[in-house]
Amino acid sequence: MEHLSDLERATLGILHASGPLTAYSVRREFETSRSSHWSGSSGAIYPLLKRLEKRAYLVSAPVSKGERRGRLYRLTGVGKSALLEWLRSPVEEDEARLTYDRIRTRVNFLEALSPTERDRMLDGAEQRLVEVLLEAQRDFDGSDQGPLEQLGTLGGVRILEARLAWVREIRRRLADMHVEQEQRR
């Protein structure tokens, strides 16, 4: 059964949810999904699909839309089993722990900046988060997703809300710290 990467598993999931797709359509799913950190670059997807087909998770059939060559990829029984096995497997600690947040990465080194610069950075972060949150909320509200597929999108919204609240919280904390320092003088 071997090991599958998250990108590979997500690809199996997309193929399961959205039926047979061409490589290009798979790419677009990743490209347009706002809550994916994968770019869906062709250099990633095309080799990945070939890989998965060689391992029998997928089969492809040539498709002729007009003159265009192309292959439609479809999940095999093996592929579906692998997807289900993953989804049914116990959630590991790493899955709960591991997150990646580039704003948090910056915040970790806030110390290197002056108080003014810190606030400027956090202000910028706050603005971006607001922008992105609005987008995500629009995606969620005016979505053609079913109630189940929406749940992932909802997670994206909730996490953005939390990140925004957090940035605001630390701006307040820093402002308070600054006031305290002033008073101590």
Partner DNA sequence: GGACACATGTAATACGTTACATGATTTT
Partner DNA sequence: AAAATCATGTAACGTATTACATGTGTCC
Give me the residues that bind a second copy (CB under 8 A), please. Answer: 6, 9-10, 13, 16-17, 34-35, 37, 80, 83-84, 86-88, 90-113, 117, 120-121, 124-125, 127-129, 131-132, 146-149, 151-152, 154-156, 158-163, 165-166, 169-170, 173, 177
The distance of Cα 129 from the centroid of its chain, to the nearest Å, equals 15
Residue among 16 and 70 whose Cβ is closer to a second copy: 16
101 closest CA partner among 125, 127, 136: 125
- Distance, in Å, from the CA atom of 46 to the CA atom of 40, rounded to the nearest integer, reads 10
Least distance between a second copy and beta carbon 135 (Å): 8
- Distance, in Å, from the CA atom of 180 to the CA atom of 134, rounded to the nearest integer, reads 35
For residue 22, give the H/E element and its range. Answer: strand 21-22
Least distance between a second copy and beta carbon 168 (Å): 11
Partner from DNA, a second copy, none binding residue 54, C-beta < 5-8 Å depending on class: none
Cβ(73)–Cβ(48) below 8 Å: no
Least distance between DNA and beta carbon 62 (Å): 9
φ/ψ (deg, to 5) at 22:
-85, 165
Residue with structure tokens 């994916």? 36
Q: Which stretch binds DNA (CB under 7 A): 12-20, 64-72, 126-134, 158-166?
A: 64-72
**Can residue 86 be called a binding residue for DNA (CB under 7 A)?**
no
How many Cβ atoms from other residues are within 10 Å of residue 49's Cβ? 23
How many Cβ atoms from other residues are within 10 Å of residue 129's Cβ? 19
How many residues line the site for DNA (CB under 7 A)? 27
Partner from DNA, a second copy, none binding residue 162, C-beta < 5-8 Å depending on class: a second copy
Partner from DNA, a second copy, none binding residue 172, C-beta < 5-8 Å depending on class: none
Residue among 17 and 48 whose Cβ is closer to DNA: 48
Residues 21-50 that bind DNA (CB under 7 A): 22-25, 38-44, 46-48, 50
φ/ψ (deg, to 5) at 101:
-150, 110
